[in-house]
Amino acid sequence: MLTHLEIRNFALVERIDVELRPGMTVLTGETGAGKSILLDALGLALGNRADSGLIRHGADRAEISAEFEPEERPEVWEWLEAHDLEEETSCQIRRVITADGRSRGYINGRPAPLQLLRELGEMLVEIHGQHEHQSLTKGETQRRLLDEYAGNGSLLAELASLHHRWQEQSRKLEQLQQAGRERESRAELLSYQVRELEALGLAPEEPAELEQEHQRLANASRLLEECRQALELLYENEQFSAASLLGQASQRVASLQELDERLQGIGELLDNAAIQVEEAAGELRHYLTHAELNPERLQWVEERLATLHELARKHRVEPGQLPRLLPRLQQELQELEEMDLRLEGLRKSIATTLEEYTAAAERLTKARARAARELGEAISENMQRLGMEGGRFEIRLLPQQGESPTPFGRERVEFRVSANPGQPLKPLAKVASGGELARISLAIQVITAQKASTPTLIFDEVDVGIGGGVAEIVGRQLRRLGSFCQVICVTHQPQVAALAHHHLQVLKERSGGETSTRIWPLEEKQRVGELARMLGGVEMTEQTLSHAEEMLQRGQQRPD
């Protein structure tokens, strides 16, 4: 429940600190005193859109803090823990609006985006406004109220999940069917390409090896000629070969080693060099023995490479990528050939999903039908108490337009009402009288709020346009509602205010040329005075005070 509301520099409010308690609390005050300002401030704390024009004149920022004790609301603690925002005992939401139009939100002292403030706020507070009857005429609002009353949350979640699965499966089926329409031509092309690559029989390393072999065969004449000349220079020219020159140098150094032993190392180097030259000459002879001009092999390699390059251009890849292309084409061809099996499997999956959806939708329909009868009777009964004797209320389930599944089930929900005896039931949206619609709306709100899962319910002047005994009945219902959840009610009706467990007065004060809004908790004597003001208008008489005192005593003695 909401335990504390702190407002700084918001509209006419300079500073307000309000402690709130369980049960039913009313806020009263003169018209224009600022009762709605408090709800607007709370709405901002819970994620409503901000406007820098809401900042009090002369201030640079407005700040609203709301503290809650979720008590036995495990879903709130689970949500806080899931977002790493949990605290030990309470939950604080804070909103700061600056003069430059920026705003920041905080949950338990940690920065949080407005979306998180809204999600948390929806679990903590439910606001029923005086213009709620306008949204009650909409089909989606009527369906939501019925489902909330029936407790259909888990059924709706199951249905939404099945609907999402059906959508995804249908999308995949459409894609496969579209691909199927192009399958024959694509499969024919793939078959030809696979046969072509298979006939080529290309090994993974063959493209690189063919390039190297082509380079060697294309330059065979030059290789033979240059290698012969190299052999001549190394060994086979008796006068000027490297071998003969090294031999002469080695002999000269050897003859001098007796004169200077330091030449011994040089002699060894020359001997080693001679050995290496002889080995190199041997390798060259071996190369020349086995090397030959092979124009037939060169022609075959060139044709093979031309085929590779042609296929590579056709498939828009490099020749070296051709060996990896074949498995991909084979896989795609296999998938096309198996498409009939995939289509059949997908159609079976869709049929299974639709069966599950139909079963869940039927359970939802039965739950709605039961709740519709119960809620319709309860609202009809409440209409009698609210001065609409003979009025009837009925909830009808109408077939959903179209045959495709929806995330909300197979039917539309329509509220129908007859405000007076003898009149036929008509859709709520076609009720002519605004006063009747407001009263019917109040009857609906009070009944459906009893099944609300939120710990704090706020009623903002929902009793406008009624008075006397009807207003007292509304007050009784709100007081009874406050016995199992926190109810905060903004009202102009003394009959409603007298039945509250707690009473807050909203005042507009002027000081030093400035106007500000303040809130005071009222004790019993002060409550009598406020009720007398609400009853008697400008002039306060003893009779009015006596009436107010009696009204308060009677209201507080009434059991919850």
Reported pTM: 0.64
| Helix, strand or coil, per DSSP, at residue 294 | coil
pLDDT at 556: 86
Which has the minimum average pLDDT: 245-259, 355-369, 427-441, 529-543?
A: 427-441
DSSP structural state of residue 55: B
pLDDT higher than threshold 80 for residue 29: yes
**pLDDT band of 375, cuts 50, 70, 90:** very high
Q: CA 497 to CA 481: how far, in whole Å?
A: 14
Q: CA 251 to CA 267: how far, in whole Å?
A: 9
Token pair of 421 as six digits:
């005896």
Question: Do the beta carbons of residue 136 and residue 444 sit within 8 Å?
Answer: yes
CA 182 to chain centre: 36
- What are the b/e assignments for 177-186, b being 16+ CB within 10 Å? eeeeeebeee
pLDDT higher than threshold 60 for residue 301: yes
Rounded to a whole number, what is the distance in angstroms from the first to the last CA of the chain? Answer: 19
Average pLDDT over residues 220-242: 68
Q: Which of 457, 495, 503 is nearest to 476 (CA)?
A: 495
DSSP structural state of residue 492: S
pLDDT, greater one: 531 or 250: 531
Average pLDDT over residues 318-347: 80
Average pLDDT, rounded, for the chain: 83
Backbone angles phi and psi of 55, in degrees to 5: -75, 135
pLDDT at 290: 63
Which has the minimum average pLDDT: 13-22, 70-79, 417-426?
A: 70-79
Provide the sign of the torsion angle of the four alpha carbons 430, 435, 438, 442, taken in this order: negative
Backbone angles phi and psi of 37, in degrees to 5: -60, -40
pLDDT at 484: 79
Token pair of 399 as six digits:
């077939």
What percentage of the chain carries pLDDT values higher than 90?
A: 29
**For residue 61, what are the contacts with CB-CB under 8 A and spacing of at least 6?**
9, 55, 96, 97, 98, 99
Tens-place pLDDT, residues 281-295: 877 777 767 666 566
**pLDDT band of 457, cuts 50, 70, 90:** confident
pLDDT higher than threshold 60 for residue 219: no
**pLDDT band of 494, cuts 50, 70, 90:** very high
Tens-place pLDDT, residues 471-489: 888 888 889 888 878 899 9
Question: Do the beta carbons of residue 403 and residue 381 sit within 8 Å?
Answer: no
> β-strands 61-68, 2-10: how paired?
antiparallel
Tens-place pLDDT, residues 148-206: 899 998 999 999 999 999 999 999 988 888 776 666 677 777 778 888 877 777 777 77
| Helix, strand or coil, per DSSP, at residue 59 | coil
pLDDT higher than threshold 70 for residue 461: yes
Q: CA 428 to CA 440: how far, in whole Å?
A: 9
pLDDT at 342: 81
Average pLDDT over residues 134-157: 87
Place of tokens 């459906």: 448
Which has the minimum average pLDDT: 307-316, 413-422, 461-470, 504-513?
A: 461-470
